[in-house]
Amino acid sequence: MALPEISRSMLKNSLVLGLFAIVTVGLVAITQLGTAERIADSERAAKNRALSELLPAGSYDNHPQDDVHLVHDPLLGSKGNSPVYLASLDGKATAVILQVTAPDGYSGSIQLLVGVLADGTLSGVRAIHHRETPGLGDKIDLAKSPWVLTFAGKSLQNLAAESWAVKKDGGAFDQFAGATITPRAVVKAVHQALQYFDAHRAELLKPVEKPHD
Amino acid sequence: MTSFREIAINGLWKNNPGLVQLLGLCPLLGVSNSVVNALGMGLATAIVLAASNATVALIRTQVSDAVRLPVFVMIIAALTTCIELLMQAFTYELYQILGIFIPLITTNCIILGRAEAFAAKNTVAAASFDGLMMGTGFGLVLLAIGAVRELLGTGALFANMQLLFGPIATHWQVTVFHNYPGFLLAILPPGAFLVLGLLIALKNRIDEIVAARAKAAEPAALPAQSRRVRVTGVIE
């Protein structure tokens, strides 16, 4: 009768395995508890920095990352909901920052933050997430090239619809040597974001309702 | 019982995980495009490796062979998750760049390999030291590849070191070649393979020269050694 012995070793092994599972999960849980606050702070700070770069200094006195609501529209390029951040001064909306997706980048979709002033002028554009080719397509990143700065000051009013394209396609925006697809995707996404803003201006500039005020 | 000196030589040179065992190639090639990325990844790997080796050595007599591997994997996964959380908390921007490669430390063969091959048979002190040396050896290779690729690719060194060392390191960047047009191949993944290949060749060349000198000093017959396919040296 070898069965009891096998059962005994099974029992022992399971207990050892279970014990280690508890200990290791406990270790992760403690670390998570200890770092959660700091991680949230870092995320907020990073988001805050990204948003504040897109807003003219002194044009807002709220915390835009808190005045956020979710919208859904094919023009914004995302299948899910996209956040819209509202900047306001003395309770009056001065700008919104739309998070839009350019689905047709060279390698996957490109996440952009598009800042639009209340009058429909672009305050700035930043690429926040992309996997474009280093050295070619990644010039949409401000860390690599000042290209995205060319968007500031443009609007649907001062730039005709056919000019919202790269120069190769007869538009007003530079493409990069060796990379046309990436800037083309970004220009299209920004153009659509402006069209979206134009169509929904009133509701976008409405103060965000806070459920727990 | 291996001496600490031997452990250090093994980890840093003779049995270097990056150049000889060719383990952990995924992070080695993936994040070695700049010095700061390489350093961050090397540190994270070395810490996990030392800690997992120490833990495995500590429990080596309590765990039976049947559940040894799952227990090792749990320990390594837990340590990696802790490191990931800590990096997220303290070096958030670097964490965002290294992204997927941090959780992948769990699957880095170096770590389970050292747990199995060394830590499970040695004392806590020897195992921690082995982890530290293997991790340092891996980190140094990462750093060498990162430096070569950053220099060839961008013409500068130590860009963005503030991601790891805080604001004090903002101006650590050294521009070696001014008006450098950039060399794309070095930054792209094929550049990593080429640089790694050249480093391995360099190491083998140095070993050859050393061996030739030793042979000239005292001729001795080498014992037959078993070789594994995917290695450039002898696994011990």
Question: So what's the pLDDT on residue B27?
Answer: 82
Q: Which residue of A has its CA nearest to B79?
A: A28
Domain assignment of residue A42, given as a range:
1-53
pLDDT more than 90, % of chain B? 29
Least confident range of B1-10, B15-24, B46-55, B200-209: B1-10
Q: Within this chain, do residues A92 and A195 fall inside the same structural domain, yes or no?
A: yes
Res A2 pLDDT > 60: no
Q: Within this chain, do residues A75 and A36 fall inside the same structural domain, yes or no?
A: no
CB atoms B64 and A31 under 8 Å: no
CB atoms A24 and B89 under 8 Å: no
Least confident range of B3-7, B52-56, B209-213: B3-7
Residues of A in contact with B93 (CB under 8 A): 46
Q: Which residue of B has its CA nearest to A45?
A: B92
Of A27, A53, A79, which residue sits at a domain end? A53
Q: Within this chain, do residues A79 and A26 fall inside the same structural domain, yes or no?
A: no
Residues of A in contact with B62 (CB under 8 A): 16
Q: Within this chain, do residues A185 and A97 fall inside the same structural domain, yes or no?
A: yes
- Would residue A133 count as lying in a domain? yes
- Would residue A49 count as lying in a domain? yes
- Would residue B15 count as lying in a domain? yes
Highest mean pLDDT among A45-49, A140-144, B68-72, B185-189 belongs to: B68-72
- For chain A, the domain total comes to 2
Res B235 pLDDT > 80: no
- Would residue A212 count as lying in a domain? no
Spatial contact of A82 and A99, defined as CB atoms under 8 Å apart: yes
User: What would the pLDDT profile of A159-183 be if each residue is shown by its tens digit?
Assistant: 888 889 998 888 889 888 878 899 9
CB atoms A9 and B66 under 8 Å: yes
Q: How far apart are CA B5 and CA B8, in angstroms?
A: 5
Secondary structure (DSSP) of A113-169: EEEEETTSBEEEEEEEE--PPTTTGGGGSTTT-GGGGGGTT-BTTTS-GGGSSBGGG
Phi (first) and psi of residue A149, to 5 degrees? -65, -20
E strands in chain B: 156-157, 174-175
Q: How far apart are CA A181 and CA A106, in angstroms?
A: 6
Least confident range of A103-117, B85-99, B168-182, B202-216: B168-182
Q: Burial level of A61, CB count in 10 A (0-12/13-18/19+)?
A: exposed
Which amino acid is present at A108?
A: G
Mean pLDDT score, A11-23: 91
Q: What angle do CA A41, A43, A45 make, to 5 degrees?
A: 65
Cα dihedral sign for A130, A133, A134, A135?
A: negative
User: What would the pLDDT profile of B107-135 be if each residue is shown by its tens digit?
Assistant: 888 888 888 888 888 899 999 999 999 99
Mean pLDDT score, B192-196: 90
Q: Which residue of B has its CA nearest to A25?
A: B78
- Would residue A120 count as lying in a domain? yes
- For chain B, the domain total comes to 1
CB atoms B88 and A136 under 8 Å: no
pLDDT more than 70, % of chain A? 96
- Would residue A211 count as lying in a domain? no
Q: How far apart are CA A174 and CA A155, in angstroms?
A: 17
Mean pLDDT score, A194-199: 92
Spatial contact of A151 and A64, defined as CB atoms under 8 Å apart: no
Highest mean pLDDT among A16-20, A73-77, A201-205 belongs to: A16-20
CB atoms B89 and A27 under 8 Å: no
User: What would the pLDDT profile of B8-25 be if each residue is shown by its tens digit?
Assistant: 888 888 888 888 888 888
Res B202 pLDDT > 90: yes
| Complex confidence, ipTM | 0.71
Does residue A100 sit in helix, strand or coil? strand
- CA nearest A111: which of A101, A97, A98? A101
CB atoms A13 and B78 under 8 Å: no
- Would residue B236 count as lying in a domain? no
Q: Within this chain, do residues A29 and A93 fall inside the same structural domain, yes or no?
A: no
Res A27 pLDDT > 70: yes
Res B47 pLDDT > 70: yes
Question: So what's the pLDDT on residue A213?
Answer: 45
Q: Which residue of B has its CA nearest to A12?
A: B64
Domain assignment of residue B163, given as a range:
4-217
- Would residue B51 count as lying in a domain? yes
Q: How far apart are CA B102 and CA B110, in angstroms?
A: 14
CB under 8 Å to B43, separation ≥6 — which residues? B139
Report the DSSP beta bridge partners of residue A129: A111
Q: pLDDT category, B79, cuts 50, 70, 90?
A: very high
- What's the distance, CA A147 to chain centroid? 18
- Would residue B103 count as lying in a domain? yes
- Would residue A39 count as lying in a domain? yes
With tokens 């306001």, the residue in question is: A88
Question: So what's the pLDDT on residue B225?
Answer: 57
Q: How far apart are CA B203 and CA B12, in angstroms?
A: 12
B61 — contact with chain A (CB < 8 Å)? Answer: no
Q: Within this chain, do residues A34 and A74 fall inside the same structural domain, yes or no?
A: no
Q: Could you tell me where the DSSP H helices lie in B10-59?
A: 25-30, 35-58
Pair of tokens at residue B112: 């389970």
* d(CA B183, nearest CA chain A) in Å: 9
- CA nearest A138: which of A98, A186, A81? A186
Spatial contact of B49 and B72, defined as CB atoms under 8 Å apart: no
* d(CA B199, nearest CA chain A) in Å: 23
Q: Within this chain, do residues A100 and A163 fall inside the same structural domain, yes or no?
A: yes
Q: Within this chain, do residues A132 and A77 fall inside the same structural domain, yes or no?
A: yes
- Would residue B81 count as lying in a domain? yes
Res B165 pLDDT > 80: no
Res A150 pLDDT > 80: yes
Helix (H) / strand (E) containing A84:
strand A82-89
> Within 10 Å of residue A149's Cβ, how many Cβ atoms?
12
Q: Which residue of A has its CA nearest to B77?
A: A24
Q: Which residues of A touch B (CB under 8 A)?
A: 9, 12-13, 16-17, 20-21, 24-25, 27-28, 31-32, 35, 38-39, 42-43, 45-46, 133-136
Residues of B in contact with A19 (CB under 8 A): none
Residues of B in contact with A35 (CB under 8 A): 85-86, 88-89
CB atoms A16 and B71 under 8 Å: yes
- Would residue A59 count as lying in a domain? no
Helix (H) / strand (E) containing A83:
strand A82-89
Does residue A50 sit in helix, strand or coil? helix
- Would residue A213 count as lying in a domain? no
Q: Which residue of A has its CA nearest to B160?
A: A143
B70 — contact with chain A (CB < 8 Å)? Answer: yes
What are the counts of helices (DSSP H) followed by strands (DSSP E) for chain B? 10, 2
- Would residue B57 count as lying in a domain? yes
* d(CA B136, nearest CA chain A) in Å: 25
Spatial contact of A116 and A194, defined as CB atoms under 8 Å apart: yes
Mean pLDDT score, B206-214: 90
Q: Within this chain, do residues A171 and A85 fall inside the same structural domain, yes or no?
A: yes
- Would residue B232 count as lying in a domain? no
**CB–CB contacts below 8 A, A to B:** 64
Question: So what's the pLDDT on residue B230?
Answer: 61
User: What would the pLDDT profile of A86-116 be if each residue is shown by its tens digit?
Assistant: 998 888 889 999 999 999 988 889 999 999 9
- Would residue B185 count as lying in a domain? yes
